[in-house]
Chains A and B, each alone.
Chain A
Amino acid sequence: MTPEDRIVSIREGAVAFRVLSAGRGAPLVYFHSFHERGGWSPFLERLARRHTVHAPLHPGVAGSTGVETLDDVFDLTLAYDELLEALGLTAAHFCGHFFGGMVAAELAAVFPRRAGRLVLVSPLGLWRDEAPSEDILILPPEDLLSVLWSDPGSEAARRWAELPENDAQNVAAQIESIARRAAMAKFIWPIPDRGLTKRLHRIRAPALVLWGDADRVNPVVYAEEWQRCIKGAAVKMLRGGHMLIHEAPEAAARAVEEFLA
């Protein structure tokens, strides 16, 4: 299915979100991370079978604008609250991957009534000195491949790694990648710890923490940390790497659907 693709502006146009939407059922908002090109994926396609999925692109990414007007994570969280308002969503399920997981958790902590159920896939946002997450914002492409994917030779990984052969398109793709990462780096540089641990107790939504058992980016010790910080959170490990939802979209979507059902 081709998702509906529209621009939703807040703050008199200072911030404009490109939002991809598809499906039927209870609303679910998906927040993406650094290394997803384009806002839609087979994982979301599957979730859209039973939910109305809205996938906004973060400000500064692929058609969403205004990141330069956002001061910090709190400001970004307010902007997402305003986006939900503009979408007419009083509450929705939230799902986010890595950086997007952090955004979903912030939103659920700062605006507890907005969150129906919360699914965090290998979320960023907590920090332990002895187990830093891999610095995938800056890793060169050739190193990135084997860190992100449990099987760098898989078709999904190879498709992800492909760059256009045409020179102009190749340069454009590189610039898009830098701009996309820069837009999110703003909120977590140089260490992805913005005091979220102090806010997580505010979350009321039932939470599922989903992790790939071969995640080489975000050490599994963080799954326990998240479980400790969000009361009653469930942890589920699936076979896969950091890009779990793209490596095993069917299994990941099934786990999410079971939790939301």
Chain B
Amino acid sequence: MKICFFHLMPYRFLPDDFEERYRSVWVDVPHGLHDAEKTHGLYHEYLDELEYAEQVGFDGLCVNEHHNNAYGLMPSPNLMAAALTRRTSRAALVVLGNSLAAYNPPLRVAEEFAMIDVLSRGRLVAGFPVGTSMDMNFAYGINPATLRDRYYEAHDLIIQAWTRPEVFAFNGTYTQVRYVNIWPQPLQKPHPPVWIPGGGSVETWEWTAKLDYVYCYLSYYGYKRGKLTMDGFWQAIARLGADDNPYRAGFLQLVCVADTDAEAERLYFPHVHYFYQKCLNVWEGFAEAPGYRTVQSLQAGLRPQIGAQAKKIRQSLTWPRYLEQGYVIAGSPATVRQQLTECIETLRVGHLMVLLQIGSMPKDLALHNTGLFAREVMPHVRDLWSGYKDRWWPAGVTNGDPGAGRPLAPGTPLALGTSPPPGHAS
């Protein structure tokens, strides 16, 4: 079992009445709400949290890409991954990912990922999302009708740029390059493992399965609702006659650990609520540009995660509802262990990603949650799927897995992150 620490890097200081006054946290959220001095502090706080996750034994550290977004301050996750290469040395750097169609030419992704792979000595997981409609169609102006075609073509170009021994010409519909020849080449051979974050589109399941990549469902709505999507993926795998190795799959789950169930509510509810009420407040009109999803996927009946309907559901959420729906797995270590095992087993995921810094959660609490998770939960799920081989894991990683960097034994004092750089306000 591989367990990765996922960070969204949310802006923690949205006004209390944000969701009443502003229609969307994404795309047209006014940047007058943003204070760069505060974000300076946040970036270092969040990097500290990621570095701490390596220290306490997480297998991987995940960063991702969003644009025009107040809950994701990482338009370039590559910059964060590059920063992490300097102060981590054992964990996988899982960049989930670079939305390929947004890069012109997409060779930029091949180059930057190769740089991170070389810098980190082979610890990169290369995430290739199509990208959300908000990011791609609205924030970056990419035509929904051709987004997927662009994506597939960019993918082909990148893989060729990483694997073909010769300088070659690429004559694509969207990209034409006479001399493809990237320096440096990635350190991992034939190339870093590829993970595909998807939102539940039928085409993505089949494409991912065909190319033998990892499929990751990055949902904010938990394992109970995620089952439909993961089942769809596993059905696509079965249709193609591939094996059902759980490491083909990744899933993101929000988790809050405390000493007791009651303590979990007291500590985490305001931050979880901030996340669902403010961070997921996306205007319905931005939920999905016409043409973003194919008719085939629309007919499969999978609705967008966000929008007016979702807003109504969200607004009625109380702590017991968050738990009951499985949006958040929260409570004492025993409660979390039990539910997380259920999550891992029912979805059949070998790469679990956990979101432990949630919404407005400050650093001390995020570290508390992370430390408790590592000490009290991680060791108990670690051995799930031990009969399977993870063929999608970076060659240079030594954290977590047997042989190196096992999680700290219970009771080991937890070192809090390395000291922040001078001038860092937290």
Residue numbers of A with Cβ under 8 A of B are: 67-68, 135, 137-140, 143, 171, 175, 178-179, 181-183, 185-186, 189-191
Contacts A/B (CB < 8 Å), 12 sampled: A137-B289, A137-B290, A175-B298, A182-B144, A182-B145, A185-B143, A185-B144, A186-B144, A186-B145, A186-B291, A189-B289, A191-B141
Query: Contact: A189 with B137, CB < 8 Å?
Result: yes
Cβ B144 vs Cβ A139 within 8 A: no
Chain B contact residues: over half helix, strand or loop, or mixed? Answer: loop
Contact assessment for A140 and B308 in the assembled complex, using a CB-CB cutoff below 8 Å: yes
Which residue of chain B has its CB nearest to the CB of A34?
Answer: B290
Alpha-carbon gap, A138 to B301, bound state (A): 20
A46 and B54 CA atoms in complex are apart in Å by 73
A residues near B285, Cβ cutoff 8 Å: 135, 138-140, 143
Are B308 and A189 within 8 A (Cβ)? Answer: no
Query: Which A-chain residue is minimally distant from B146 (CB atoms)?
Result: A186
Instruction: Given A175-B298, A189-B144, decide whether A182 and B284 contact each other with a Cβ distance below 8 A.
Output: no
Q: Are A185 and B286 in contact, CB atoms less than 8 angstroms apart?
A: no
CB-CB under 8 A from B313, the residues of chain A are none
B415 within 8 A of A: no
Q: Are B141 and A189 in contact (CB under 8 A)?
A: yes
Residues A181 and B290 in contact, CB atoms below 8 Å apart: yes
Does A138 contact B298, Cβ atoms closer than 8 Å?
Answer: no
Tell me which of A135, A137, A140, A175 contacts B295 (CB under 8 A).
Answer: A175
The 0/1 profile, CB within 8 Å of A marked 1, for residues 297-323 of chain B is: 011010000001000000000000000
A186 touches B143 (CB 8 A): yes
* Contact A189 B295, beta carbon cutoff 8 Å: no
Is A179 touching B295 in the complex (CB atoms < 8 A)? yes
Contacts of A189 in B (CB 8 A): 137, 141, 143-145, 289, 291
Chain B residues bordering chain A, tally (CB within 8 A): 20
Given A138-B286, A140-B285, are A190 and B291 neighbors across the interface (CB < 8 Å)?
A: no
Chain A residues whose CB sits within 8 angstroms of the CB of B290 once the complex forms? 137-138, 178-179, 181-182, 185
Complex: chain B residue closest to A181, CB-CB: B290
Q: Which of A137, A178, A191 contacts B298 (CB 8 A)?
A: A178
Please list the 7 inter-chain residue pairs (A to B) with the smallest Cβ-Cβ separation, ordered nearest first: A182-B291, A186-B145, A181-B290, A182-B290, A190-B141, A189-B143, A138-B285
Whether A190 touches B137, Cβ cut-off 8 Å, given contacts A135-B285, A181-B290, A185-B144, is yes
> CA–CA, A183 to B285, complex, Å?
17
- On whether the beta carbons of B284 and A185 are closer than 8 Å, the reply is no
> For B138, what are the chain A residues with a Cβ–Cβ distance below 8 Å?
190
**Complex: A183 Cα to B141 Cα, angstroms:** 17
Residues on B with C-beta less than 8 A from A186 are 143-146, 291
- Flag if B145 contacts A185 (CB, 8 Å): yes
Instruction: Report B-chain residues with C-beta under 8 Å of the C-beta of A67.
Output: 145
Q: Is the CB of A138 within 8 A of B308?
A: no
Query: Which B residues are CB-close (under 8 A) to A68?
Result: 145
Given A179-B295, A189-B137, A189-B141, CB of A138 within 8 Å of CB of B146 = no
Question: Shortest distance in angstroms between A187's beta carbon and chain B's nearest beta carbon?
Answer: 8
Q: Determine the distance from Cα of A74 to Cα of B258 in the docked complex, in whole angstroms.
A: 61
Q: Other than A135-B285, A179-B295, A189-B144, give 18 A-B pairs with Cβ distance below 8 A.
A: A137-B289, A139-B285, A140-B284, A140-B285, A140-B308, A175-B295, A178-B291, A178-B293, A178-B298, A179-B298, A181-B290, A182-B290, A183-B291, A186-B291, A189-B137, A189-B141, A189-B143, A190-B138
A253 CB → nearest B CB, Å: 30
B282 to chain A, nearest CB (A): 12
Q: How far is the CB of B172 from chain A (nearest CB, A)?
A: 13
Cβ-defined partner of B291 (8 Å) among A135, A143, A175, A185: A185
Residues from chain A with Cβ under 8 Å of B137 in the complex: 189-190
Residues of B within 8 A of A175 (CB): 295, 298-299
> Which partner residue on chain B sits nearest A175 by CB separation?
B298
CB closest residue in chain B, given A190 = B141
CB-CB nearest in chain A for B285: A138
When chains A and B are docked, how far (Å) is the Cα of A162 from the Cα of B274?
Answer: 37
A72 to chain B, nearest CB (A): 10
For B298, the chain A residues whose CB sits under 8 A away are 175, 178-179
CB of B286 within 8 A of CB of A190, answer: no
- Roughly how many angstroms separate A189 CA and B290 CA in the complex, as a whole number? 10
Q: What separation, in Å, do the CA atoms of A255 and B383 have in the docked complex?
A: 77
CA distance A181 to B292 in the complex (A): 11
B299 smallest CB distance to A (angstroms): 7
The distance in angstroms between the C-alpha atoms of A68 and B146, with both chains bound, is: 9
Report the bound CA distance from A140 to B138 in whole Å. Answer: 15
Contacts of A191 in B (CB 8 A): 141
Best-buried of A135, A140, A175, A182 by chain B (most CB within 10 Å): A182
CA distance A133 to B169 in the complex (A): 42
Known: A138-B289, A175-B295, A185-B289. Is A190-B143 also a contact (CB below 8 A)?
Answer: yes
Nearest CB of chain A from residue B199's CB, rounded to whole Å: 16
Chain A residues contacting B145 (CB-CB under 8 Å) are: 67-68, 182, 185-186, 189
Contacts of B142 in A (CB 8 A): 190
